[in-house]
Amino acid sequence: MEQIDILVSEVGPRDGLQSLQQIMPTAAKCEWISLLAAAGVREVEVGSFVPASVLPQMADTAEVVAHAKTIPGLDVAVLVPNLRGAENAVKAGADKISIPLSVSETHSLKNVRRSHTQMLEEIHSIAELIAAQPAERRPYFEVGLSTAFGCTLEGPVSEELVVRLAVLAIEAGAAEVGLSDTTGYANPAQVRRLVKKVWDAVGRERLNGVHLHNTRGQGLANALAAMDIGITTVDASMGGIGGCPFAPGASGNIVTEDLVFLVEAMGLRTGIDFDGLLRARNYLAGALPGVEIFGFTPEAGLPRGFQNT
Give catalytic residue positions: 244
Find the length of the chain. Answer: 309
Q: CA 55, CA 193: separation in Å to the nearest integer?
A: 34
Q: CA 222, CA 212: separation in Å to the nearest integer?
A: 7
